[in-house]
Structure 1
């Protein structure tokens, strides 16, 4: 059974990869040539946000029972955000309890982009940043812009 799921996972991952590189995806992706289960992607900070102009690297690691379990998305570029911590972990419901096999990497990347546009300070992974977002949006935006300029403009 494990082998069959592994084969299904590989087929699904391959299909999603081909779809993303053949379409004009909003995201740049690549993968480890030796391991189909490891991808790298770059997303651009959304316009009108403190992340605008930044390029953020995210690693994606697929489980062997994908798409029945979500892949792990990890920010490699440091970011100042209430829902993304220093280790790059992302607090996003579709990567936890709201995951369904109908979701794709591209849909998750879109959700991450939307999270950059509209953080959720009521479910923060970094409580201090969540509090600042709620209590002093100007200072939050300033710090996020400075962080983006320092870390995401390589």
Structure 2
């Protein structure tokens, strides 16, 4: 089963953004986690520029008692509480840790449709 879902954070750095994720659920679910990718290019420490998502319950912390709703809740938490300690986008993680005001400015620039460093982001706010 494949489907898409949209996350629209209502607080935090990413408030007002619209982020689309694809889910691939294998026949071995719930024994194996769904494969999740972000279709929206986003400046985020836990989502790389190819859309790969770093969320512990999609990897080593997956248990068959977890479900799709748990994953969606986890994705929402990534936007309200980005984690600089387990990054896929190391550059964004360093900025978040060392200069939160610059991180916020970079997120706003990316969401408005613009460049952060050498990377262009489509408008998603």
TM-score by length of 1: 0.72
DSSP-derived class of the 2:85 partner: coil
Greater C-alpha radius of gyration = 1
Q: Which residue of 2 aligns with 1:132?
A: 95
**In 2: Cα distance, 1:101 partner to 1:82 partner:** 27
From 60, 70, 85, the equivalent of 1:122 is 85
Is 2:29 the counterpart of 1:66?
A: yes
RMSD (Å), alpha carbons: 1.0
Q: Which residue of 1 aligns with 2:70?
A: 107
Report the number of matched residues: 116
Structure 1: gaps of 5 or more residues: 1-36
DSSP-derived class of the 1:81 partner: coil
Q: Which residue of 1 aligns with 2:124?
A: 152
Residue 45 (structure 1) shift: 2.2
TM-score by length of 2: 0.88
**In 1: Cα distance, 2:79 partner to 2:101 partner:** 16
DSSP-derived class of the 2:84 partner: coil
**In 2: Cα distance, 1:63 partner to 1:147 partner:** 33
Give the 5 Å matches for 1:86-105. Answer: 86-105=49-68
Higher fraction of helix = 1
Residue 39 (structure 1) shift: 0.5
**In 2: Cα distance, 1:124 partner to 1:46 partner:** 23
Runs of 4+ in 1 over 2 A off after TM superposition: none
Q: Which residue of 2 aligns with 1:28?
A: none
Structure 2: gaps of 5 or more residues: 114-122
